[in-house]
Amino acid sequence: MKRIGVLTSGGDAPGMNAAIRAVVRCGVSHGLDIVGIRRGYCGILEEDFVKLGNRSVANTIHRGGTILETARCEEMKTEEGLRKANENLQREGLEGLVTIGGDGTLRGATKLAEAGNVKVISVPSTIDNDVYGTDYTIGFDTAINTALDAIDKIRDTAGSLQRPFFIEVMGRSRGFIALEVGIAGGAEDILIPEVETKIEQLSLDIKRCFERGKRSSIVIVAEGDDAGGALSIAHQVWERLKMEYRICVLGHVQRGGSPTARDRVLASKLGAAAVDALVRGMSGYMVGELKGEKAFTPLRETWEKRKELDADLLRLVKVLSG
Is 193 an interacting residue with respect to ligand ATP (CB under 6 A)? no
Cross-strand partners of 5: 35, 97
Rounded Cα gap, residues 83 and 80, in angstroms: 5
Residues 224 and 313: their CA atoms lie apart, in Å, by 19
In total, the chain counts a number of residues equal to 322
Residue 303 binds ligand ATP, judged by CB under 6 A: no
DSSP state of 306: -
The site for ligand ATP, by CB under 6 A, has a size of 19
**Which member of 128, 189, 205, 263 is catalytic?**
128
Which of 48, 69, 95, 103 touches ligand ATP (CB under 6 A)? Answer: 103
Residue 284 binds ligand ATP (CB under 6 A) = no
- Give me the 119-138 binding string for ligand ATP, x by CB under 6 A, dash otherwise: -------x-x----------
> Which C-beta is closer to ligand ATP: that of 170 or that of 275?
170
Closest separation in Å from C-beta 1 to ligand ATP: 24
- Cα–Cα distance, 260 to 238 (Å, whole number): 37
> What sign for the dihedral angle of Cα 309, 311, 314, 320?
negative
Is 41 or 285 the residue whose CB approaches ligand ATP more closely?
A: 41
Judged by beta carbon, residue 72 or residue 84, the one nearer ligand ATP is 72
Applying CB under 6 A, among 11, 15, 36, 182 the residue interacting with ligand ATP is 11
Q: Which is nearer to ligand ATP, 75 or 276 (CB)?
A: 75
Work out which of 27, 36, 43, 108 binds ligand ATP, going by CB under 6 A. Answer: 108
Q: Which residues, at least 6 apart from 306, have a Cβ–Cβ distance to it below 8 Å? A: 132
- The DSSP result for 190-205, as a single string, is EE-TTS---HHHHHHH
Whichever of 9 and 283 has its CB closer to ligand ATP, that residue is: 9
Cα separation, 14 vs 265, whole angstroms: 12
Residue 266's nearest CA partner among 69, 123, 68, 106 is 123
* Closer Cβ to ligand ATP, 130 or 225, answer by number: 130
By CB under 6 A, name the one of 45, 73, 144, 270 that touches ligand ATP: 73
Indicate whether 307 belongs to the interface with ligand ATP (CB under 6 A). no
Minimum gap (Å) between residue 5 Cβ and ligand ATP: 15
* Annotated catalytic residue 152: no
Compute the distance between CA of residue 51 and CA of residue 38 in angstroms, rounded to an integer.
11
- Residue 281, classified by CB atoms within 10 Å of its CB into exposed (0-12), middle (13-18) or buried (19+), is exposed
Residues in the site for ligand ATP, rule: CB under 6 A? 9-11, 40-41, 72-73, 76-77, 101-105, 107-108, 111, 126, 128
Catalytic residues: 128
